[in-house]
Amino acid sequence: MKIASKIVHAGRDKKWTGYSVNVPVVRASTVVFDTVSELKHATAKRGEQVPYYGRRGTQTHFAFSDAICELEGGAGCALYPCGAAAISGALLAFLQSGDHLLMVDSVYEPTRALCDKLLKNLGIDTTYYDPLIGAGIKALIRPNTKVIFLESPGSITMEVQDVPAICAVAKQHNVLVMLDNTWASPVLFKPFAHGVDVSIQAATKYIVGHSDVMLGTASANEKYWPQLREASYLLGYCASADDVYLAARGLRTIGVRLAQHQQNTAQVLAYLQQRPEIARILHPSLPDHPGHAEFTRDFSGSNGLLSLVLKQGDAKAVTAFVEGMQFFKMGFSWGGYESLVTFNLNLQSIRTATLWPYTGPVIRLHIGLEDPTDLIADLAAAFERFNSTVVP
């Protein structure tokens, strides 16, 4: 089945949807049983997709989990109230005091904070590594290394990791590999086909696609799914049926939305490459981008998230750039239909294993579904404000 067809039909099993096109919103805390034998059966099967208690899931949750598994290739999928919860839930499912974690240096900033605060306090040691290390990760593996965590492309700086090379080394040392697959979504990169054991996503972003739901997913292969599933339940994670319904509905259009994001971004990139204020554009589709060879080898397309490294500029100049934009709104997250802008004045402050080679500020853009000519005009006006404020 081609990916466009799979996106439309994944998870649409009649046992979950009945005679509807979309899965119904089934809200439940208590599940009631008519007989003792029914209760015993549900109790025996409570680790499977059988209604037992609301936190274990309803038809709404089961249909969406199935869809994510079909698209990513996992054996099972746990749902969480947000992407950060999916990351913490997955890590806590497989790490304990005395363990060692290898964490990519370009990781999402809240994940770094989780490692440096909560995991550290639990006696879990974290080593950050160069995102471009590839098979060289072998030199960092210790006898107590339990998990290698990848994020590819990385947050803000977008380095693409050599996932198959890292996974091959990990398998040789019996180390579990987790990947934050949010940038690619289930459409652009197939984690399990490349050797990943646990794939994590902030479904909040491209899966939901409309900036109105917080949701996270963590899928696992057959070896690790039972442990992930049980730990997720023991930690108390669950997601609202209403939020899961909206995510399932958003999933049906992710293919066409991503294609438009990619098309719009290509036009905006062509404009940005002409701007003299930019020292470097960070987007994996560009030939000079770190990991571009791995990107063209492993990914089936790109999206609308990119960063601009400016040659110079202080806080005042950056403020002039981001304030007053018509279409690019200041706000965290990305993956919705709207264009967004954020900034970072000191990227080295969130890197510890690698040296950030630039001194200028970084502007992160999410290219939405507006007409790209409007977005380009918005950026041109932002650069005009920037240039009128920047101190040479």
Helix, strand, coil % (nearest 5) of the chain?
Answer: 40, 15, 45
Under a CB-based contact definition with an 8 Å cutoff, are residues 96 and 142 in contact?
Answer: no
Query: Exactly one of 180, 197, 243, 298 is catalytic; which is it?
Result: 180
Cβ neighbors of 294 (< 8 A, separation 6 or more) are: 160, 161, 162, 163
Longest CA pairwise span in the chain (Å): 79
* End-to-end Cα, the chain, rounded Å: 56
| Tokens found for residue 160 | 């693409």
Under a CB-based contact definition with an 8 Å cutoff, are residues 183 and 214 in contact?
Answer: no
Annotation marks residue 190 as catalytic: no
Cis peptide before 153 (omega within 30 of 0): yes
* Alpha-carbon span 31 to 242, nearest angstrom: 18
CA dihedral 23, 25, 31, 36 (to 10 degrees): -20
Residue 113 phi, psi (nearest 5): -65, -40
Query: Exactly one of 205, 229, 257, 364 is catalytic; which is it?
Result: 205
Annotation marks residue 128 as catalytic: no
Q: Which amino acid is residue 256, in one-letter code?
A: V
Residue 329 phi, psi (nearest 5): -95, 140
Q: Residue 201 to residues 48, 196, 289, 355: CA-CA distances in angstroms?
A: 22, 13, 23, 27
Q: What is the 3-state secondary structure (H, E, C) of 244-283?
A: HHHHHHHHCCHHHHHHHHHHHHHHHHHHHCCCCCEEEEEC
Query: Exactly one of 6, 13, 53, 55 is catalytic; which is it?
Result: 55
* Alpha-carbon span 191 to 195, nearest angstrom: 7
* Type and span of the H or E element at 281: strand 278-282
| Tokens found for residue 287 | 């030939």
Annotation marks residue 233 as catalytic: no
Strands 329-330 and 340-344: parallel
Query: Exactly one of 52, 108, 206, 237 is catalytic; which is it?
Result: 108
Annotation marks residue 245 as catalytic: no
Residue positions annotated with a catalytic role: 55, 108, 180, 205
